[in-house]
């Protein structure tokens, strides 16, 4: 399975999916994609060659090289008619037809006709698009061009600001296209928990929305904040800091991930488990590999089989031995 228009960390990974009222998760059954609920019960029968995560109560499905969308009842509500597609965000999805990017609503109607060569997902009512002439524009949900952007890159908006790259340096602009934090960093991440990762002189630190450095750049590697914790690496061991830059969980893991739903995956003696924000191992390290928790379940690999586990570490679904992914 692949995520359309997005990269994958591991080729065999299936994606969990989220809807507002209940969650469904994709699995392969007999070579077709089906969907289960949080109890591991099949609620959408296997019907398509490929399927992606649910976002905004919709999921991309694929058959014979064409993509469409199903709702969380498994009904095909937007026909299989696109060459590529992105997930719904804020009621809008990016689609590609004949190598041109456009945007549709949840009924499949075009809000923006497919005329652009590239585009980004909508976030906080804005998206960036790129024309054949090499120009980059900021558009709203009606497809109206708000501003031409003189940037090499525009990220998604978070807390009213989006990452920009100009002349190879990173900064941030607001939803009107006005630069609020001048490009000056070698690298920067989006704002999470009110802070954004920045890199100066090869070291990672953090700024607030005013552009003020609140945690001085001193980390050889660090990640985004979530649940008040950010991953960092010291002497090839991973640990976590708090929002004051103090060590919250000492570096002790050969591998660790960002916190998601207040749990983070960590590697202990070649196996993976999960810790809470205090560093307590709440799910034993007995998995070969795994993904973050999403809406209560995490996709893991155990004994060469894909499994879904709940927050207590209980297996709620397991692939059949010999099933291909």
CA 56 – CA 170 distance, rounded (Å): 30
pTM for the structure as a whole: 0.83
Q: What is the pLDDT of residues 69-128, one digit of tens each?
A: 999 888 999 999 999 999 999 999 999 999 999 999 999 999 999 999 999 999 999 999
220-287 matches 89-149 in CATH topology: yes
Residue bearing tokens 């090839």 = 236
Q: Which residues are within 8 A (CB) of 76 and not within 5 positions of it... i.e. 6 or more apart?
A: 61, 68, 69, 70
CA 71 – CA 57 distance, rounded (Å): 6
Q: What is the pLDDT of residues 42-65, one digit of tens each?
A: 988 898 999 987 889 999 999 999
> Domain spanning 89-149 has what CATH number?
2.40.10.480
Burial code of 121-134, b = ≥16 C-beta within 10 A, e = fewer?
bbbeebbbbbeeee
Tell me the average pLDDT across 271-298.
95
How many residues are present in the chain?
325
Domain ranges of the chain: 1-85+291-325, 89-149, 220-287
Class of domain 220-287: mainly beta
Q: What is the pLDDT of residues 217-272, one digit of tens each?
A: 999 999 999 999 999 999 999 999 999 999 999 999 999 999 999 999 999 999 99
Candidates 287, 298, 290; CA nearest to 262 is: 298
């Amino acid at each position: 399975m692949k995520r359309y228009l997005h990269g994958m960390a591991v080729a065999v990974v299936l994606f969990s999916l989220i809807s507002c009222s209940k969650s469904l998760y994709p699995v392969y059954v007999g070579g077709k994609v089906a969907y289960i609920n949080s109890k591991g019960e099949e609620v959408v029968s296997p019907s398509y060659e490929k399927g992606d995560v649910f976002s905004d109560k919709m999921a991309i499905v694929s058959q014979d090289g064409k993509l469409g969308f199903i709702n969380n009842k498994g009904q095909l509500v937007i026909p299989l008619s696109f060459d590529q597609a992105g997930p719904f965000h804020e009621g809008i999805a990016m689609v590609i037809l004949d190598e041109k990017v456009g945007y549709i609503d949840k009924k499949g109607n075009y809000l923006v006709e497919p005329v652009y060569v590239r585009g980004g997902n909508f976030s906080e009512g804005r998206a960036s698009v790129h024309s054949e002439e090499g120009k980059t524009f900021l558009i709203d949900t009606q497809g109206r061009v708000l501003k031409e952007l003189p940037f090499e890159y525009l990220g998604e908006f978070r807390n009213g600001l989006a990452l920009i790259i100009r002349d190879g340096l990173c900064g941030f602009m607001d939803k009107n296209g006005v630069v609020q934090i001048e490009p000056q960093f070698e690298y920067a991440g989006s704002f999470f928990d009110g802070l954004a990762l920045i890199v100066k002189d090869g070291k990672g630190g953090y700024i607030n929305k005013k552009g003020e450095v609140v945690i001085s750049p001193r980390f050889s590697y660090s990640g985004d904040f979530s649940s008040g914790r950010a991953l960092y690496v010291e002497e090839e061991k991973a640990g976590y800091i708090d929002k004051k830059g103090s060590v919250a969980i000492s570096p002790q893991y050969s591998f660790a991930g960002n916190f998601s739903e207040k749990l983070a995956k960590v590697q202990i003696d070649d196996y993976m488990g999960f810790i809470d924000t205090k560093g307590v191992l709440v799910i034993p390290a007995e998995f070969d590999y795994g993904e973050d928790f999403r809406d209560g379940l995490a996709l893991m690999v155990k004994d060469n089989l894909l499994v879904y586990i709940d927050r207590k570490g209980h297996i709620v679904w397991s692939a059949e031995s010999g099933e291909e992914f």
